[in-house]
Structure 1
Amino acid sequence: MSDQIPHPLSPQDCLVALMIAVAASDENMRTAELVKIESTINNLPIFASYDLDRLRIMSQTVFDLFSVEDGLDALFGLIRDNLPETLNETAYALACDVAAADGTLNDRELRLLEEIRYELDIDRLHAAAIERGARARHLTI
């Protein structure tokens, strides 16, 4: 893993890492997913002070972790250690938005979202509401 990453990760780094993980989960990062991540970082208040250069570092971190056995477990360990619980639902909502950005959800994305729900201890009813909101925001005519 890269030596450039100061530990602990910021809460924003954790949010970005999860968004990247969802986009990369099917080994095919689509333009819509990348645009969604960058737009999210540029527009949401939680990222107001976030250094956009960290996006590249967090991307490389996720790719490095995905290239090793148990890398997903290591990613979730970093998230658990550095993301305040109060941001768990935010993290899940951002992950759902990235997954829905290209208009399709494949099996790998669905499995990763399920794992994120489990790892972040998102209540099933809350998860359903978050998923419904993401679906509503990304519908096309």
Structure 2
Amino acid sequence: MTNAETAEFERPTGAAALRGLKRQCPNCGEGHMFASYLKVADTCPHCDEELFHHRADDGPAYLTILLVGHILGFVIHIMWVQFRPEPMTMATVLSVGAIALSLYLLPRMKGMVVGIQWARRMHGFGRPDQ
């Protein structure tokens, strides 16, 4: 296969990951990737790209926990140094923040993982010779 032929089949990982973060189809960037909150649509409503091949599993949850934990670590430090709130107030604010941030990030992380899998042709997303 020549370079021109392989270039035809290239799928840029960065663009696919960014489209996934936006919860859009990794192929066209137009269609919505999700049928519901975390349920990936079987196909893109815009370009009919098959998306049911994904195997995101625990990756998005791990990435969400990693990000939320790091963000809240800084927030805990800043809250304590600057404001010294009561322990119950701090626990309540941080709990609400952790839940809200987790609910916001989880579908975006899943979209990113599915986009990377699509770009790398993992788990049945196709090979250039297919």
**TM-score, normalization: structure 2?**
0.29
Higher relative contact order (CA 8 A, sep 6+): 2
TM-score by structure 1 length?
Answer: 0.27
